[in-house]
Amino acid sequence: MLCFFGLTGWTLQTIYHQDAETALQDRLQSDAYALIAAAEVDENGVLRLSYLLPDARFLTVSSGVYARVRSADGQQIWQSASMTDLNIDFPQKLAPLERRFDYLATSTGIPVHAFSMGVAWEGINGRGQTFTVSVATSLRDFDLKISRFRESLWSWLGGVAALLIAAQSLILRWSLAPLKRVAREVTAIERGERSELGGEFPRELTALTRNLNGLIRSRHEMIERYRNSLGDLAHSLKTPLAVLRGIVEGGGNAVDTRDTIRDQVDTMSGIVGYQLQKGAAVGQTALASPLRLRSLCEKIVATLRKVHAAKNVETEIEMSEHCSFPGDEGDFLELFGNLLDNANKWCARKIKVSVSIDEHVLPRKLRIVVSDDGPGIPEALIDAVLERGGRADPNTAGHGIGLAVVRDIVKLYKGRLQITRGPLGGAQIEIELPVL
């Protein structure tokens, strides 16, 4: 604001000075032309003023308006009465029609602005002569006028600038108050005095505060999830460890002992794997970058095709190239991976994957459907397969944690999971996740 008003004031001052200088020069030229019009050369070649002078100040001593006429050889032909006891070093011997403006000073040190021009004059006897006509005016009134304008200009600009800066300061203080409030509440959160940002904020800050609260809640939920996973892990390992301790302390048949240890180790391995996958899930977080789901799904399909190469499974994917979701990549790798791995295990030859976003409901929903042509999951076993360690066929390899991990991730994203029989004849798992 200060730079703007400073540049504006300098520009206006410069323009005014130039205009005033131009007006002064125009007046000097008018005075010179009037002198020429009032003069004539007699038959003896002497220059005389036959008319009244254009400005009475030429007749007043030290009036501030001066004039002089010199011949071509530099001799003074005429000078105004106002130049009595004064001398001004006007230019001499100017060619006809040559013009000059100069800033000069009188012999007493008074600054003046002068105009000189060369004039070719033909007398009565037909002889031509060349004269240099010079006029000058004191710069006292000019400088006083410029000074008054400068004082008035800067006074008004200074007042307006002070008023606008004060208004701008009040507006900024008022408009930045919500940000200061956010800063205070964030500090309170850091001190443990608050759990999240609260209250109403302006529309411009709603997205900021919502995302900050989302980050804070995600952090709390993640810490709570880690704590619960560690507690669940410790609790789940108590029984297998107790069995192993009993074997070590009680001894027994070597074959039975080996089988029991193998079963308990498998159980512990499944428990650890499940809890690690469950604890590693991040969930939907604020400011998450959108994931390109098609490339993610194709990567998983290519990996599982190598794992289950013997079955030569045909996987059909229905998904837009631009289908995306603002979630954690690790979560979706676990979700897609477990769904497609489960389908590859149970299918005969074909798997169909459909991913779409329903734009007709709010909030929008990401819909994932994976179906296969296998035997399907009996309705009575649906709840069981969603529990850790639950399997539709105990003879099938695995720990029975895949769909349990999928269930936990869907729950983490506040979505919905449904298992039915699909159009290919086998199981169809449908998942809906809200797109915030």
CA distance 106 to 96: 25
Measured between alpha carbons, how far is 393 from 376 in angstroms, rounded to an integer? 11
Highest mean pLDDT among 147-156, 202-211, 223-232: 147-156
What percent of the chain has pLDDT above 70?
83
Distance CA 53, CA 40 (A): 13
Mean pLDDT across 232-250: 70
The token pair that represents 429 in the structure block? 């798992």
**Average of per-residue pLDDT across 426-434:** 90
Instruction: Name the 3-class secondary structure at 258.
Output: helix
Counting residues of the chain whose pLDDT is more than 90, the rounded percentage is 25
156 CB contacts (<8 Å, ≥6 apart)?
none
**Could you give the CA distance from residue 218 to residue 204 in angstroms, rounded to a whole number?**
23
- Reply yes or no on whether the pLDDT at 362 is more than 80: no
What is the rounded CA–CA span in Å between residue 118 and residue 182? 78
Please report, in angstroms and rounded to a whole number, the separation of the first and last CA atoms in the chain.
42
pLDDT class of 116 with cuts at 50, 70, 90:
very high
CA-nearest of 243, 249, 273 to 261 is 243
DSSP 97: T
CA 330 to chain CA centroid, Å, is 31
For residue 399, is pLDDT > 50?
A: no
Position 394 scores a pLDDT of: 44
Residue spans of beta strands (DSSP E) within 23-153:
39-41, 47-49, 65-71, 76-79, 99-105, 111-122, 128-138
CA separation for the pair 27, 137 (Å, rounded) = 10
| pLDDT recorded at residue 163 | 93
Is residue 148 within 8 Å of residue 169, measured between CB atoms? no
